Structure 1
């Protein structure tokens, strides 16, 4: 009998991690940082009201993502942009609203992510992003993504602001860390699944630090472009790349891989 959570799916629900994938991911994380600041501060909605509005919008889009039967670039990347904003706001609420130290929130979100991976693997016997072919796996996937964004926000703010490293220097630190992961993977055969998720976490503070550097006033160590211009520029870039992926279909998982590996336990990406 076919499993209930596979009935409506016709293929992998997430894109392949191509170069375009990583570019859009960094752009989305930057928008998550600047858009959250824009809504909460520049438009005077406040962190709490912004959090409610964005959480509702995210849930609506997430339902749409779950209702699709295959990977749809526009829906998927809209979900990523919104979860980026929500992840940022979760950390901001903990830090600014409840006074939770960034070191504590970084540690808590790291543990939450580890637990998510552990339960995910225990239940599914695979963490492969090539094989998000059931509703349950998709649920684990988006929960992990949420924790990576919240963790990345906390870690980025901790380094740039609390440790006074600065925005531009933080960009260099996280870019360098991603380069080390890439070298470890391609030159020293670090496991694909470990490499992917470490890089995925690191792109969040990289994008956030980049967004802060571009948007913050020059007196605070930024370029002074402002949150509106920075958000618009990056959203336009994301839109152009998503249109490209929709037309080219370069980030689709081949159907033959999805149909075989879905039945086999695997630690590979």
Structure 2
């Protein structure tokens, strides 16, 4: 979706300080690096949150601070700087994703509500932006207020894209590879309609939102173990690959300046053919309804959500023959010590929070245990499925006790201490 028009400068507010355009030209390079940034944002956030054990809320706080820092640098620049601009996109990608994850995983907000709320928020941001500036075109980011609206919009689109993408997976139960096809197809349709004569600003922002679930699904597909129909690169491997691709692309753009807008505000936007624009808008509505129908049909089919934990591994003998002492010995001898240490640390932290009476903190911390345990399911169950099943049952008891609507501290303490004993 390459654009060559430049917007009018007549919408510039009186007294506004005009800058050189602070965003890149929307060429094929723009969309390539946007998807790369989205993918690495998803995988890198998972790596820090889960693999390094930072936890969801601390990771969100860390990236919020980083976002404010790089945004301040971006806003203070007088012109478009590829490295600074795309660093901001990477960080805002992670930050927007984490905000949605907190609503879903920490606060238990259903994804359909998150999608609705972020959609309404995006419409509100667009409305205020338009009423103030009379343009939503990214080719007119030549004042500080317009740049502020632009980055606020980008942040909301990442949060909305995350909620919409996760909700789609929840409705359909599609695997990581299949889930790439829907946003990819929708982006291709939007690009074709833009080429035909759709409103360029509307087409741009729809495609921009869709790149978020596309990039996230690509990242999940690459990072997911091969046993679950992924490519098995892991979150760290995926992050390295895409960071390298981003770095190479940014260096290329910095040297060639292939994405620099040469002229700003020198001519009027050439209006599209009104008939073609109306036809394209009608086609977008039809595609939206068809997508809704597809998701409704997929949701009606027997499936398990791709976001669910999945069934416990089937072990020939089950775990009924194990006692706590044997299970603890098996955990020590058969499971990687680093992972076991991580599980013990999180469980101990949760127990300490329960004893302090910090129920909200305990519920937040035990979510980290759930995430780490689920991520290790394939490797751990392959090493000792019987012991894995035994520990999985204890973790379920701990999760249930801590997340109860009316938690009993004695029950919570008992479940967590029993789990700690099994973990050694």
**Do the aligned residues in 2 keep the contact of 1:12 with 1:131 (CA within 8 Å)?**
yes
**Do the aligned residues in 2 keep the contact of 1:95 with 1:102 (CA within 8 Å)?**
yes
Q: Classify the secondary structure of the residue corresponding to 1:114.
A: helix
Structure 1 equivalent of residue 224 of structure 2: 216
* Structure ranking higher on relative contact order (CA contacts 8 Å, 6+ apart): 1
Which of residues 39, 44, 58 in structure 1 aligns to 2:53? 44
- With normalisation by structure 2, the TM-score equals 0.59
1:117-136 C-alpha deviation (Å, 9 max, x unpaired): 11101100011111100000
Which of residues 143, 148, 153 in structure 2 aligns to 1:144? 153
Q: What displacement does 1:221 show?
A: 3.7
Structure having the higher Rg:
2
Q: Classify the secondary structure of the residue corresponding to 1:254.
A: coil
Q: What displacement does 1:235 show?
A: 0.5
Structure 1 equivalent of residue 257 of structure 2: 249
Structure 1 equivalent of residue 25 of structure 2: 16
Which of residues 4, 19, 30 in structure 1 aligns to 2:39? 30
Is 2:84 the partner of 1:75? yes
Structural mapping, 1:252-263, within 5 Å: 252-255=260-263, 258-260=264-266
Which of residues 158, 164, 187 in structure 1 aligns to 2:167? 158
Cα distance change of structure 1 residues 37 and 201 upon mapping to structure 2, 3 Å threshold: same
Structure 2 equivalent of residue 193 of structure 1: 201
Aligned residues: 260
Is 2:96 the partner of 1:90? no
CA distance in 2, matches of 1:86, 1:267: 36
CA distance in 1, matches of 2:159, 2:271: 25
> Structure 2 stretches of 5 or more lacking a match?
1-12, 273-424
Q: Classify the secondary structure of the residue corresponding to 1:260.
A: coil
CA distance in 1, matches of 2:58, 2:16: 35
CA distance in 2, matches of 1:144, 1:266: 25
Cα distance change of structure 1 residues 18 and 237 upon mapping to structure 2, 3 Å threshold: same
CA distance in 1, matches of 2:126, 2:235: 34
Which of residues 158, 166, 180 in structure 2 aligns to 1:171? 180
Which of residues 240, 244, 257 in structure 2 aligns to 1:236? 244
> Structure 1 stretches of 5 or more lacking a match?
none
Give the ranges of 4+ consecutive aligned residues of structure 1 lying more than 3 Å apart after TM superposition: 2-5, 264-268
Structure 2 equivalent of residue 99 of structure 1: 108
CA distance in 2, matches of 1:162, 1:60: 37
- With normalisation by structure 1, the TM-score equals 0.92
Structure 1 equivalent of residue 17 of structure 2: 6
The CA RMSD measured in Å over matched residues stands at 1.8
Q: What displacement does 1:108 show?
A: 0.9
Cα distance change of structure 1 residues 221 and 98 upon mapping to structure 2, 3 Å threshold: farther
**Do the aligned residues in 2 keep the contact of 1:128 with 1:267 (CA within 8 Å)?**
no
Which of residues 38, 63, 84 in structure 1 aligns to 2:72? 63
CA distance in 2, matches of 1:215, 1:180: 27
Q: Classify the secondary structure of the residue corresponding to 2:266.
A: helix
**Do the aligned residues in 2 keep the contact of 1:35 with 1:227 (CA within 8 Å)?**
yes
